[in-house]
Each structure stands twice: as structure tokens, then as C-alpha cells.
Amino acid sequence: MLSENQIKALSYNLDESRIKTIDKAGMSFKYLETYDIINVANTIFNYMWDYTITRLEEVARETNQNGNHVITFSAIVKVKIYDAQRNFIEREDTGVGTGTARTIGDAIDNASKSAVSDSLKRSLRSLGGQFGNDLYSKSPNINQNYQQQPVQQLQQPQPYSQANQQQTQQVQHSHNPNDFSSLYAIGLTIMEQGQNLVVLGDDIFSKKDSIKACGFRWDGATKMWYKALQQEAA
């Protein structure tokens, strides 16, 4: 049901610039922010997705030593991803969130939002690295591997490796406007959207020279770099 371009985009390594770090109890944890997850889902699935909160309930309540209310919520979120014919696939997972505030209302608000966000991110991460699944790896070299892998490997999701190898062999010069290896190497993704190819990723403006060199143009209305598919075929 997912298109080939969507599967490729989901298989690319996670751009390290999207990763945030938080320290808790003397330990450092890496995560992706909720708005970032939603933006990536909107882009990859072309807004053809939604989610439903199937459960949201309070599971704990106490007062800490500072007199603040500490409330914990549990949530279950179901994600649906559609194609043009309205066929869909589902993902579902649980999440937990804690809110601490001077008032019960604020603590409930913070805890419920946190639980839904956690559940949403857990549901989407089953789709692959673009939604932070690799951050759950116990390997300390996960981000170093991103830098060490050859560009060809970053372009080759497993189901399409043979086709991508053939395409890579046809690329002879880095200045070829139809060679996107230079964009993949700096953490960008190329996807088909309607009659155009579009560039996705973080820090788009700082990478504009590389994007222009591959023949893409800036559309001020959609705030996206694009290239007509007919131009690509030519």
C-alpha cells in the first residue's frame, strides 16, 4: 500500500540534526520531538494519515515534597495511513506521561498531552528509522554508523537494493543534475509528489547550494524545493 518512494524515505538513516537529548536521573536519553514526528509524517504520507486516541486514563496521583501535584496518564493511540484509494494500514501502541504543576488542572493537562505524544511516537516508530526507531538500539555506535556508511548504502533500502545498485552504476559525475547522491549524503530525502520531485529534510536553506546544483527550484507558495518529473525523465 505504501509507495516505493515512501518505503525508501522510511528506510533512510535518521538525520542527526533532528535528534534531541535530555538528562534524567544521571542518564542521557535521545528522542525526537512530537512536532518533528508529525511534520515528517505529513511530508512522507502527504497528509494522508491520522490518529485516534483510543484510551486516555489517569493511572497515578500524588503530591511531591514541594507541594506540587504529580499526575500520570496512560494512553493508547491508533495511527492510520491511507493511500489514494483510501486503503489504509494501522499502527497502535501505548504511552505514558507525567505532569507536575501547582494546580491539579495543569498537571492533568501536561500529563495527558505527554501520554498521547509518547503513544503517537511509539506507534509511528514501528515504521522505521525516520520516526526514531533506531534510537532504541542499545548499540553506542548507532549515530557513528550514519557517518561511516557509504552513500550507496544510504540509498539502498533492502527491498530495492538491486535496482538502486543499477542506478548508482549509471551515475558517473557528481555534477549531474539527476544524481541525488550528494543530497542523500547530507541527510536530505527526494520524494515524488504529484508531478514533481520534492526535497525533504532539515536545514533546507543552509543546503540550498547543493539542492540547486541538482536542478531543483524553490516554490515560495509551498515553501518547498521541487523539480518536474518530466524534467527528470529528460
**pLDDT tens by residue, 146-163:** 333 332 333 333 332 333
Please tell me the least confidently modeled range out of 65-74, 78-87, 177-186, 219-228: 177-186
Burial class (CB in 10 A: 0-12, 13-18, 19+), 48: middle
Task: Decide: helix, strand or coil at residue 160.
Answer: helix
Task: Return the H-helix or E-strand segment holding 106.
Answer: helix 104-125
Q: pLDDT tens across 69-122, in order? A: 999 999 999 999 998 888 899 999 999 999 999 999 999 999 999 999 999 999
All three cell numbers of 227, joined, read: 523539480
The pLDDT of residue 225: 81
Q: How far apart are CA 37 and CA 81, in angstroms?
A: 14
Query: pLDDT over 70 for what percent of the chain?
Result: 74
Q: How confident is the model at residue 22 (pLDDT cuts 50, 70, 90)?
A: confident
Q: Are 121 and 131 a contacting pair, CB within 8 Å?
A: yes
Beta bridge partners of 88: 82
For the chain, what is the mean pLDDT?
Answer: 77
The structural domains of the chain, ordered by start, are 4-143 (3.30.390.80), 149-233 (no CATH)
Burial class (CB in 10 A: 0-12, 13-18, 19+), 53: middle
Q: Are 133 and 126 a contacting pair, CB within 8 Å?
A: yes
Task: Decide: helix, strand or coil at residue 141.
Answer: coil
Please tell me the least confidently modeled range out of 104-108, 139-143, 173-177: 173-177
Q: How far apart are CA 131 and CA 41, in angstroms?
A: 8
Burial class (CB in 10 A: 0-12, 13-18, 19+), 189: buried
Q: How confident is the model at residue 202 (pLDDT cuts 50, 70, 90)?
A: low
Residue closest to 131 by CA, chosen among 42, 24, 28: 42
φ, ψ (nearest 5 deg) of residue 74 = -115, 140
Q: Look at 234 and 10; give whichever has higher pLDDT.
A: 10
All three cell numbers of 17, joined, read: 540534526
Residue closest to 56 by CA, chosen among 37, 78, 34: 78
The neighbour count for residue 115, using CB atoms within 10 Å, is 28
Pairing of strands 224-228, 196-200: antiparallel
